[in-house]
Structure 1
Amino acid sequence: MRVLATCAHDDGSNADAITLDIMDIEQCRRVIDQHRPDYILHLAAISFVAHADAEAFYRVNVIGTLNLLQACADTDHTPAKIVMASSANVYGNACEGVIAESQPPLPVNHYATSKIAMEFMVRTWFERFPIVITRPFNYTGRGQANHFLVPKIVSHFRKRAPVIELGNLDVARDFSDVRTVAQAYLGLLQSDVAGEIVNICSGRQQTLREIVFAMEQIAAYPIEVQVNPAFVRANEVRTLVGSSEKLDRLVPNLFRPDFKETLRWMFER
């Protein structure tokens, strides 16, 4: 299988990447028509929840996704499968139990609201294209930018920083290894499923406090944690843990390392 990557701007980091700004419908048509991909894995988005430009969430996450689907229709191209990445943030502040796909969405920030809006828009295309909508919970691994939480923590320990500033230490998240997520996406692309929503998750929760403790064991030194009130959001999703039952049924035997091993993999690179 030949994989073609796209990026909005050519920054020189991937010489084989195709420049594609999904906000430009003509570019979308041109790229789709030229390459006519057998499968599309749509990951492009404003994905940093604290992004300063609220309007950008809707321009990129909703209209950009619409442009991609419209380009397929305009060029009369029907891929074997399109996998759309939404987000588990659409569930909002679900504080008890494990969240299945049947949980009603209750977004509490612009990122999550843009993603549920994208989902409803994509559903209008279910009869036209074989589409799977995924709701990834948190995932991490080597190469993730340091403004995301886990890479920030790992980076501080790799530098042996004496102090780290964090937000609410008791926020609980369902973290997966990026290698598990990649395998899940590939499995869904190759599966017969369409017109479905699927959680991408581990079914296990980790608090920020537990991640720091695990890193202290891996790096073999204690770090001073200072809680910065600026990092504590009023609409913080406190607990987010997913049910992986549907994913495990559709894509069995996923590689699922213990999260401490993921942290060690990131630390030892």
Structure 2
Amino acid sequence: MEKPRALITGVNGFTGQYVAAELQAHGWDVMGLGSQPENGSVPGYYCADLLDAASLRTVVAQVRPDAVVHLAGIAFVGHGDADAFYRVNLVGTRNLLAALAQAGHAPQCVLLASSANVYGNSTEGVLTEAAPAHPANDYAVSKLAMEHMARLWLDRLPIVIARPFNYTGVGQSESFLLPKIVAHYRRRASTIELGNIDVWRDFSDVRALAQAYRRLLEVCPVGATVNVCSGHARSIGEILNIMNRISGYSMDVQVNPAYVRASDVRSLCGSNDFLRQLVGEWNTPPLEETLDWMFNAS
């Protein structure tokens, strides 16, 4: 019996590698799309820019995917080029949807990765998918605009929108908070410079996130917007204390004003009730386990 074929955009990125491994482990034939010539560990790899509509149409016509996981985009909130958020995250996604709609082979599910940053700063407590969106930076605005744009294609494509909260794991760039902290402990640095310390975040393990994406593909709740999150917020201070225990020592923490962003969201904690209604029992490992995995990775 022929395996179902999944196309993962951004397959060479941090998340893409874990999603590819998850799908391959569960019987999918995984094809990858990226903007760099190297193909990582995915044998069926295509190099194309999301802003090159003609190249995207060619790739989609060749792959004829049964499902798509769209991860490609600019994910670092502090990225210096605001225009790039809109070009890649909004226009690039539209180019992909147009290519899929015109390919003559309708995918069974198209999962678009948005972001919990769309909720912004104005809502306290645990956020459900019904919470109002109040994006506080260009990255979040670009993701919310992408969500609205994607809904224009629902009559032609079976689209599901995932809103992941923060997640981490081995291989994530040190430009993100937790990998930066873990790397400093691995080096036994004496000090670390951080930005806003008075922030709370809902962290998941990237391996659990990949499982959630795979299970959402399988049930494909068309038109749904789904939080992917642990349901628990942890402060930066708690994270530092966990790392003190794992590593056996502590660092001097200094706040660098250059790292403090006025648009930072102070508290982000999500509800995963809807996700669990859709896919069944799902949990992310305790943050302590994820940090220990990252600290002790070879």
For residue 195 of structure 2, what is the aligned residue in structure 1? 167
**TM-aligned CA deviation for residue 77 of structure 1:** 2.5
Say if 2:47 is the partner of 1:47: no
Which residue of structure 2 aligns with residue 31 of structure 1? Answer: 59
Is the aligned partner of 1:147 residue 2:178? no
What is the Cα deviation at residue 11 of structure 1? 3.8
Residue 236 of structure 1 corresponds to which residue in structure 2? 264
Any conservation in 2 of the 1:94–1:240 contact (CA below 8 Å)? no
* Aligned position for 2:33: 6
Q: Secondary structure at the match of 2:36?
A: coil
Contact 2:230 2:283 in 1 (8 A): no
Deviation readout 1:179-223 (Å, 9 max, x if unpaired): 110000000000041111000111100111111111111000011
In structure 1, the residue matched to 2:18 is none
Q: Equivalents in 1 of 2:63, 2:202: separation in Å? A: 36
Mapping for residues 45-194 of structure 1, pairs under 5 Å: 45-194=73-222
Q: Distance in 2 between matches of 1:260 and 1:18?
A: 37
Q: Distance in 2 between the 1:13 and 1:89 partners?
A: 29
Cα distance in 2 for residues equivalent to 1:257 and 1:75 = 39
Match of 2:286 in 1: 258
Residue 35 and residue 12 in structure 1: after superposition, are their counterparts in 2 closer, same or farther (change >3 A)?
closer
8 A Cα contact 1:94 1:239, kept in partner: no
Deviations 1:48-90 (A, max 9, x none): 0010000000000000000001001222231000000010000
2:250 corresponds to: 222
* Deviation at residue 234 of structure 1 after TM alignment: 1.1
Unaligned runs of 5+ in 1: none
> How far apart in 1 are the matches of 2:96 and 2:224?
19
* Matched position secondary structure for 2:193: strand
Which string of whole-angstrom CA distances, capped at 9 and with x for unpartnered residues, describes residues 76-129 of structure 1? 231000000010000000452100101111111000000010000001111111
Q: Is the 8 A contact 1:40 1:81 kept in 2?
A: yes
Closer, same or farther: CA 94–179 of 1 in aligned 2, 3 Å:
farther
Q: Is the 8 A contact 2:75 2:139 kept in 1?
A: yes
Contact kept in structure 1, 2:101 and 2:157, CA below 8 Å: no
Mean CA deviation greater in 12-21 or 207-216: 12-21
Deviates more, 1:12-21 or 1:215-224: 12-21
Output the aligned Cα RMSD.
1.2
Distance 2:196 2:123 in 1: 15
In structure 1, give the amino acid aligned to 2:33: T
Structure 2 length-normalised TM: 0.88
Once residues 125 and 12 of structure 1 are traced to their aligned partners in structure 2, the CA distance between those partners, rounded to angstroms, is: 30
Structure 1 stretch displaced more, 91-100 or 7-16: 7-16
Aligned to 1:246: 274
Most deviating of 224-233 and 4-13: 4-13
Q: What letter corresponds to residue 73 of structure 2 in structure 1?
A: A
How far apart, CA to CA, are the structure 2 residues paired with 1:226 and 1:234?
Answer: 18
Could you say if the C-alpha distance between residues 185 and 164 of structure 1 is closer, same or farther in structure 2, counting changes exceeding 3 Å? same
In the alignment, is residue 207 of structure 1 matched against residue 229 of structure 2?
no
Residue 253 of structure 1 and its aligned partner are, at CA, apart by 2.1
Residue identity opposite 2:32 in structure 1? A
Aligned partners of 1:91, 1:15: CA distance in 2, in Å? 34
- Give the % identical residues: 51
SS in structure 2 at match of 1:83: strand
State the 1:251 CA deviation. 1.6
Cα pair 2:123 2:131 within 8 Å, conserved: no
User: How many residue pairs were aligned?
Assistant: 269
Please identify, of 6-15 and 63-72, the stretch whose mean Cα deviation from structure 2 is larger. 6-15
Question: Which TM-score applies when normalising by structure 1?
Answer: 0.97
Aligned-residue offset at 1:242: 0.5
- Unaligned 5+ residue runs, structure 2? 1-27
The Cα offsets for residues 242-264 of structure 1, whole Å up to 9 and x where unpaired, read as 01110111122224211010000
Does the 8 Å contact 1:179/1:255 carry over to 2?
A: no
